[in-house]
Structure 1
């Protein structure tokens, strides 16, 4: 029996067999589980990008979904392997802040450290591939109806690792923020909520240049820099039919301003 789908996010890419092996482990436990690929193109070891993608994806999935996330530069270290219950489902992966975006919007109900090897693939897991040996099988058992508390020892929710970005600061005339995500098109997504600029005339200042706030990518000529509220609900900087990251030489956590 299958209780819920599993949505997988990793930084493994698709050139190697790692993603397929994780899916094979899940299928060994329960071949009826519906597996959905969120993405496997997170930049290597980029926990901030993984945090953003999970935070913006989970509202579009059915309640009860299990989010299996493996961006894990601390694999084999003392960082905890965890499973977390929240209002919309479960999170399975490393305790390194990868889930802090989701949990900032939908707080954790309870969490366990994955200390019960009978729900792992093997009792002695690899030191370098917990996605295969711990996280994938645990997600499969959860999807098949195993209770969260059976997977390990309960841990205090406030002890979960956080990856905190600087919060935007707001005055009557400006907002100070930063770049929190860069997508595959080179669009620069800030940490400034779109509702901060709704109904106002505004520009973005970045790298000393002024970028007009508009409604759509096509509001400016091809090759022009533009600022708008993306489908994810955050202010972003883009180039119409171009790559804002390359053109503006901006990276994660670089500062930006919105001026009214």
Structure 2
């Protein structure tokens, strides 16, 4: 029974998520389908990569992960079908694959779209479902798609490093308005090297200790901890950190140097100073 996950930026307001599951089951009734999230922000690659990466690592080996994020940024002509660290990932050829894996996949094939097909979301689901079924049924890779295709690559959004500092970007704000930064505990400790530190955000907010849980500080107080995915999280015990501090998710399009953009970046980045 193939285990298949679904992640998308479709939302839950209309029929499309349900229709996608119906198409999967129509092609292979043995699929066991699990939702990861359908509430991701459109066009936000760092957020999508973080959510997918953090979920995928927890699934049994040889799970198939269908990622429907920003499917139509450009005219699509293939679906990527990758295998990496005992997990399968199927997604659009839009650069997201490398951001999710943070590495070159062990294997990748390109499944070409029919030139005359109407290339909408449900067509992409059909292509993914048929490819998974072929693989499960023992079809050779060469009959499913084109091995080692040319595909779009984008670099993962990584923190900036200095001798006595590390600067991360806010990549996710959860339902409680806790703020997730793209600094992992491993990166933090490697850069820290046992030194004292100050975590600074929104110009004048400072935290100088890592908490183990929200309850480590009094109600209403701010804290920093590493979440279950291993990423730095800024929170308020029984409060809304993003709303109170005016923090927001990082936007890759803000690359200009105007005063407006520079001011905006104060609310999208977090800096750690080591002493």
Q: Which TM-score band applies after superposition, normalised by the shorter structure?
A: 0.7 to 0.9
DSSP 3-state at the match of 2:102: helix
Residue 15 to residue 78, structure 1, CA distance change in 2 (3 Å)? closer
Distance 2:102 2:270 in 1: 22
> Which runs of 5 or more structure 2 residues have no equivalent in the other structure?
251-267
Counterpart check, 1:207 vs 2:215: no
Distance 1:241 1:141 in 2: 49
Residue 232 to residue 126, structure 1, CA distance change in 2 (3 Å)? same
Report how far residue 93 of structure 1 moved.
1.4
Report how far residue 140 of structure 1 moved.
4.4
Residue 144 to residue 17, structure 1, CA distance change in 2 (3 Å)? farther
Aligned with residue 243 of structure 1, among 231, 240, 243 = 240
- In structure 2, the partner of 1:55 is 53
Counterpart check, 1:44 vs 2:58: no
- In structure 2, the partner of 1:259 is 273
- In structure 2, the partner of 1:120 is none
- In structure 2, the partner of 1:217 is 214
DSSP 3-state at the match of 2:207: strand
Residue 98 to residue 179, structure 1, CA distance change in 2 (3 Å)? same
Structure-1-length-normalised TM-score: 0.84
Aligned residues: 250
Residue 67 to residue 165, structure 1, CA distance change in 2 (3 Å)? same
- In structure 1, the partner of 2:147 is 154
Structure-2-length-normalised TM-score: 0.80
Counterpart check, 1:22 vs 2:28: no
Report how far residue 197 of structure 1 moved.
4.3
Aligned with residue 64 of structure 1, among 62, 76, 82 = 62
Within 5 Å, give how 1:108-257 maps onto structure 2. 108-115=105-112, 117=114, 124-129=116-121, 130-156=123-149, 159-171=151-163, 173-198=164-189, 201-208=196-203, 209-215=205-211, 216-253=213-250, 254-257=268-271
DSSP 3-state at the match of 2:57: helix
> Which runs of 5 or more structure 1 residues have no equivalent in the other structure?
118-122
Residue 12 to residue 136, structure 1, CA distance change in 2 (3 Å)? farther
Report how far residue 144 of structure 1 moved.
4.7
Aligned with residue 33 of structure 1, among 17, 31, 34 = 31
Distance 2:48 2:88 in 1: 16
Report how far residue 154 of structure 1 moved.
2.2
